[in-house]
Amino acid sequence: MLAFLVHSVGLMLTRRHALAQLALLATSVALLSACGASHPLEPGDGAAPDLVSADGGSLDGGSLDAGVDEGVIDAGPRNPCDAQDAHEAACPVSLCDGPDGWYWNGDRCFSITCGGCEGTACAARFASEGECVMAHTACEPSLCRGSGGDWLFWAQECLHYQCGHSVPADCAFGRPVCDCGPLRTFDPTVGCVADPSCAVGPPIPPRELLCTGSGGSWEGICCDTVCGDFCPLACATPACNCGAGRVFDDARGCIESTRCFERSVGETCDPRARCASGSLCCQTCGGAGCFGAATCRAPTCSPDPAIDTCGNNRFAP
């Protein structure tokens, strides 16, 4: 009798183990299927770079947020200066299925039309740009720009610029900061203010020395480059070539500027650039990998699962 009970318990344990293994296998298959559907191309396999919207969110397409209530208008996250988790759907499932709204991306307000919003904060919309702006007037980006500073949204600094220069410091994580210019420093309560500690310094050197001393190249290009772009004028007058991502400042030479990281459709972009609303920073990719400079493009909404939102076909030769 004892042997029979032991045998029966053993069978039960074996069956339970088999059922557990089958459940684990089914879960793994489901997860792999979901991953494959969400990421048609992976970096390193001839894929385009990660897709980032103008507001900093992912633009992989997908369905609209059905939880958006047209009558709900909320101030947003607990800290009003934190970015709202909301971004424009690259390929919405319907042309217009909800209200227009304004959202805060951490440094400015942006709009999403027709309810084409994805994210947990889609219902926390502002009814107008004015309402969104007023709700964030005390946030550092608004104070910076409102007082004449340049908000470096792409920067990874520890401290705000002082007297027009980066302040060396150690921190666990960098963040965007404000550049108030040569003679001012950022005050987090009022914005850019005059700073008596900013040394006036020696007279500004000639343009050629200011250019080359700040990492630029003095060339016969008629006028200074802007974000790496040459002016259309044809002449040999010497001017400063500051290279990509920088402009020439008459007091500091070649410096990074917000203009160089705000890109329109058709312009080149890089991982730090922010393409205009509704467009993606895409690189052309084929079977052998990606090639050419990445540019801001309108998303490709193809029903073919082999074609990503940048228009690349994973099976292209």
For 122-154, what is each residue's pLDDT tens digit?
999 999 999 999 999 999 999 999 999 999 999
pLDDT tier at 78 (50, 70, 90 boundaries)? Answer: low
Query: CB under 8 Å to 251, separation ≥6 — which residues?
Result: 164, 181, 182, 204
Last residue of a domain, which of 165, 184, 201? 201
Collapse the DSSP code of 263 into the 3-class scheme (helix H, G, I; strand E, B; otherwise coil) and give the result: strand
Answer yes or no: is pLDDT of 226 > 90. yes
Residue 56 lies in a domain: no
Residue 261 lies in a domain: no
Lowest mean pLDDT among 6-20, 88-102, 112-126, 253-267: 6-20
| Residues 196 and 227 placed together within one structural domain of the fold | no
Q: Residue 87 in contact with residue 53, Cβ under 8 Å?
A: yes
Collapse the DSSP code of 291 into the 3-class scheme (helix H, G, I; strand E, B; otherwise coil) and give the result: strand
| Residues 226 and 211 placed together within one structural domain of the fold | yes
Residue 235 lies in a domain: yes
pLDDT greater at residue 144 or residue 41: 144
| Residues 143 and 196 placed together within one structural domain of the fold | yes
Residue 95 lies in a domain: no
| Residues 142 and 197 placed together within one structural domain of the fold | yes
pLDDT of residue 310: 92
- Read off the pLDDT of each residue in 198-203 and give the average, rounded to a whole number: 76
Q: Residue 192 in contact with residue 144, Cβ under 8 Å?
A: yes
- Read off the pLDDT of each residue in 2-15 and give the average, rounded to a whole number: 37
| Residues 197 and 211 placed together within one structural domain of the fold | no
| Residues 164 and 145 placed together within one structural domain of the fold | yes
Lowest mean pLDDT among 15-29, 117-131, 177-191, 297-311: 15-29
Contacts 24+ apart (CB under 8 A), 198-207: 198/162, 198/163, 198/164, 199/163, 204/250, 204/251, 207/240, 207/250
Side-chain half-sphere exposure of 276, counting CA atoms within 13 A? 10
Query: CB under 8 Å to 264, separation ≥6 — which residues?
Result: 275, 276, 296
Q: What pTM, to 2 d.p., does this model score?
A: 0.66
Would strands 289-297 and 280-286 be described as parallel, antiparallel, or unpaired?
A: antiparallel
Residue 284 lies in a domain: no
Residue 182 lies in a domain: yes
Which among 186, 143, 137 has a CA at the least distance from the CA of 163? Answer: 186
pLDDT of residue 10: 40
- What is the rounded average pLDDT for all residues in the chain? 78
| Residues 219 and 195 placed together within one structural domain of the fold | no
Ranked by mean pLDDT, which of 30-39, 87-96, 277-286 comes out on top? Answer: 277-286
pLDDT of residue 287: 76
pLDDT of residue 238: 96
Residue 227 lies in a domain: yes
State the Cα–Cα distance between residues 295 and 125, nearest whole angstrom. Answer: 30
| Residues 144 and 168 placed together within one structural domain of the fold | yes
Residue indicated by tokens 């947003």: 76
Amino acid at 157: E
What residues does 241 pair with on adjacent strands?
A: 217
- Enclosing domain of residue 169: 138-201
pLDDT of residue 316: 76
Residue 98 lies in a domain: no
Q: Tell me the pLDDT tens digit for each residue of 261-296.
A: 998 999 888 888 899 888 899 999 887 788 888 999
Lowest mean pLDDT among 12-26, 38-52, 105-119, 290-304: 38-52
State the Cα–Cα distance between residues 84 and 88, nearest whole angstrom. Answer: 12
Collapse the DSSP code of 2 into the 3-class scheme (helix H, G, I; strand E, B; otherwise coil) and give the result: helix
Number of domains in the chain: 2
Quote the radius of gyration of the chain (alpha carbons, Å): 26
Collapse the DSSP code of 101 into the 3-class scheme (helix H, G, I; strand E, B; otherwise coil) and give the result: strand
% of residues, the chain, pLDDT over 90: 50
